[in-house]
């Protein structure tokens, strides 16, 4: 049983249950007001007794303002439970015998950092150049890498007289003799936050809990990515559990789906969605232009587009039937002739976010005819072009028009019933004379005959439906065919489409 935190009647949260994740970097996302900072505050209380007083401050002037009466925060740890309830001035544990239960979470240290501008500026009487020391190499190197600079080669620290262990950062602006320094107040908010974070991560014990509250607000997107890389490296080295509250589109597009925890608020009831695709989170918090798909499938033409969209839809429905919030967003894009699809596949990767995968799904005749003939004729250049992307190229079970004609001809009654049901018109017919003679041998003649037959069937149906366009009938016909094919060949289709919904982008 995972350790849990349940929040009830706190601020705008009626109820929220949060499963505390294991080691690794986790992004905590959600719209404004979903409860991200409240969750971090409750996590912070695991190791810092003043966390509630810091985050949930009641008014000192009126019981009608910022009052937390009725609020409860429940911790379930190793099957045991303690509830903290607001008692007017402080948060009281129930039962009191479990007031030390939070230590059983097993974190030797809990560290919290947000995008705050608190700076330490040495007073003249505190500043003594003899107390200036070189900042650790690891700190300087990490800060330079994250922030894309070399300025922190000159980073120093100074221990101040006031407060034990009170240390401030200074940058040496002029070398000795006559060295000059600038204090923390001359650092940007992002620079200062990064330095503090690195320092804490360097010194925190293994297996600690690290809480980061929207720190990316002070960072450029490139620095956000470098910070994420650094956090993942440190989490791996020290088995840290890092929970990073964020609105960053850059970060959400960068991580794997199991690293995303999304808080979805609905009239005070907050649902925790673990492992959703980035598009699910971005669809709730991002602008339209920032909502990149999780997967892109490139096909040759509109016929393949209409059929593939339906196959993908059925596969997603079958696979994620009971977990609608986890399904991916997939775009199917028609490109043109098959060789153009393959070349576009190579170029397009530079245009997509790192976590958006792309594959080419070509008509079956490319494999059975074109590639086969290249092998026979030793066309090594063309074969090499395909082989370069072979892990990202798959093939439909049919050439689109050939598959449709076989469906209309061999299952005429079934096809006609499905077409009539879709258009709610019992007079529609699939006439065999529209299909005509189709060459039995696969190849160019068969494809051309099937293409012409498909167009005749579309024209006949469109003529019988004055309110439907030819293009709409074309789309519906291929959708009906794809639905039938999925129903009769579900395992094979799942085997083809399923891996496309989970594969990691290959660079």
**Mind giving me the DSSP string for 259-304?**
GEEEEEEETTEEEEEES--HHHHHHHHS-GGG---SEEEEESSHHH
pLDDT at residue 66, as a whole number: 60
- Tell me the C-alpha distance between 213 and 441, whole Å: 65
Task: State CA 204 to chain mean position distance.
Answer: 28
Which of 274, 210, 269, 218 shows the shortest CA–CA distance to 247? 218
pLDDT given at position 423 = 94
pLDDT at 232: 97
Say how far apart CA 370 and CA 449 lie, in whole Å: 19
Residue pair 469/496 in contact by the 8 Å Cβ criterion: no
Query: Which of 252, 356, 280, 325 lies closest to 28 in space, CA to CA?
Result: 252
Q: Find the helix or strand (DSSP H, E) in which 400 lies.
A: helix 400-410
Mark the ranges of the chain whose per-residue pLDDT is less than 70.
Answer: 58-67, 116-128, 161-166, 283-291, 324-325, 350-351, 503-507
- The answer to whether 147 touches 155, Cβ cutoff 8 Å, is no
Helix axes 470-488, 412-423, angle to 10 degrees: 130
End-to-end C-alpha distance for the chain, whole angstroms: 38
**C-beta separation of 40 from 28 below 8 A:** yes
Q: Are 484 and 476 in contact (CB under 8 A)?
A: no
Locate the domains of the chain by residue range. 4-116+203-289, 129-186, 292-397+496-501, 400-488
- Supply the pLDDT for residue 288: 47
Q: Please tell me the predicted confidence (pLDDT) of residue 504.
A: 46
CATH of domain 4-116+203-289: 3.40.50.300
Phi, psi of 126 (to 5 degrees): -85, -25
CB contact at 8 A, 59 and 275: no
Within 10 A of 88 (CB to CB), how many other CB atoms are there? Answer: 10
- Between the alpha carbon of residue 284 and those of residues 80, 157, 205, 257, 269, the distances in Å are 35, 43, 36, 16, 16
Angstrom distance (rounded) from CA 373 to CA 382: 11
pLDDT at 229: 96
Rounded distance between C-alpha atoms, residue 80 and residue 18, angstroms = 16
DSSP 130-194: GGEEEPPHHHHHHHHHHHT-SGGGGEEEEE-SSSTT-EEEEEEEEPSSS-EEEEGGGS-HHHHHH
Partners of 134 in the β-ladder: 156
Rounded to whole angstroms, how far apart are CA atoms 391 and 344? Answer: 15
Q: How many CB atoms lie within 10 A of CB 429?
A: 15
Asked whether the beta carbons of 215 and 111 are under 8 A apart, the reply is no
Q: How many whole angstroms separate alpha carbon 190 and alpha carbon 183?
A: 15
User: HSE (CB half, 13 Å, CA atoms) of 389?
Assistant: 22
Tokens for 421, please give them.
């049901």
CA distance 252 to 235: 18
Q: Nearest-CA neighbor of 456 among 434, 425, 431, 433?
A: 434
| 128-179 tens-digit pLDDT | 677 788 999 999 999 999 999 999 999 998 877 655 456 888 888 888 787 8
Q: What is the pLDDT of residue 449?
A: 95
CA dist 232 → 76, 223, 275, 308 (Å): 27, 14, 17, 37
């Amino acid at each position: 049983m995972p350790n849990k935190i349940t929040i009830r009647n706190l601020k705008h949260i009626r109820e929220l249950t949060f499963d505390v994740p294991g080691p690794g970097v986790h992004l905590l996302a959600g719209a404004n007001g979903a409860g991200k900072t409240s969750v971090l505050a409750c996590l912070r209380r695991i190791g810092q007794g003043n966390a509630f007083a810091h985050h949930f401050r009641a008014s000192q002037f009126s019981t009608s303002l910022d009052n937390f009466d009725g609020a409860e925060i429940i911790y379930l740890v190793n099957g045991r439970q303690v509830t903290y309830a607001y008692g007017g001035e402080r948060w009281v544990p129930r039962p009191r015998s479990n007031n030390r239960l939070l230590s059983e979470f097993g974190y030797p240290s809990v560290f919290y950092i947000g995008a705050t501008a608190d700076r330490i500026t040495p007073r003249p009487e505190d500043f003594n150049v003899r107390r200036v020391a070189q900042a650790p190499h690891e700190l300087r190197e990490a800060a330079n890498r994250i922030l894309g600079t070399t300025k922190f080669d000159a980073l120093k620290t100074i221990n101040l007289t006031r407060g034990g262990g009170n240390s401030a950062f200074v940058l040496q602006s002029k070398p000795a003799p006559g060295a000059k320094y600038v204090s923390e107040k001359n650092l940007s908010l992002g620079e200062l936050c990064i330095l503090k974070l690195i320092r804490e991560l360097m010194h925190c014990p293994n297996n600690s809990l690290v809480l980061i509250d929207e720190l990316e607000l002070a960072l450029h997107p490139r620095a956000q990515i470098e910070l994420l890389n650094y956090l993942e490296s440190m989490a791996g080295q020290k088995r840290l559990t890092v929970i990073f509250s964020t609105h960053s589109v850059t970060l959400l597009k960068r991580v794997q789906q199991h690293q995303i925890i999304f808080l979805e608020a609905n009239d005070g009831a907050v649902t925790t969605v673990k492992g959703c695709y980035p598009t699910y989170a971005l669809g709730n918090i991002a602008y339209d232009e920032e909502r990149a798909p999780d997967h892109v499938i490139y096909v040759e033409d509109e016929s393949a587009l209409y059929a593939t969209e339906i196959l993908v839809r059925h596969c997603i429905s079958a696979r994620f039937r009971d977990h609608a919030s986890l399904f991916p967003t997939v775009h199917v894009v028609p490109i043109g002739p098959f060789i153009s699809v393959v070349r576009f596949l190579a170029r397009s990767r530079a245009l997509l976010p790192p976590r958006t995968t792309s594959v080419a799904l070509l008509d079956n005749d490319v494999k059975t005819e074109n590639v086969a003939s290249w092998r026979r004729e030793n066309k090594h250049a063309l074969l090499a072009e395909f082989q370069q992307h072979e892990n990202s190229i798959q093939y439909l079970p049919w050439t689109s028009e050939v598959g449709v004609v076989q469906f209309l001809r061999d299952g005429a009654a079934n096809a006609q019933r499905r077409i009539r049901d879709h258009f709610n018109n019992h007079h529609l017919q699939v006439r065999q004379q529209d299909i005509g003679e189709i060459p039995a041998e696969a190849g160019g003649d068969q494809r051309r005959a099937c293409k012409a037959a498909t167009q005749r069937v579309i024209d006949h149906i469109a003529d019988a439906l004055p309110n439907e366009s030819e293009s709409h009938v074309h789309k519906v016909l291929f959708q009906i065919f794809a639905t039938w094919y999925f129903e009769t060949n579900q395992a094979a289709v799942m085997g083809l489409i399923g891996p496309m919904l989970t594969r990691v982008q290959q660079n």
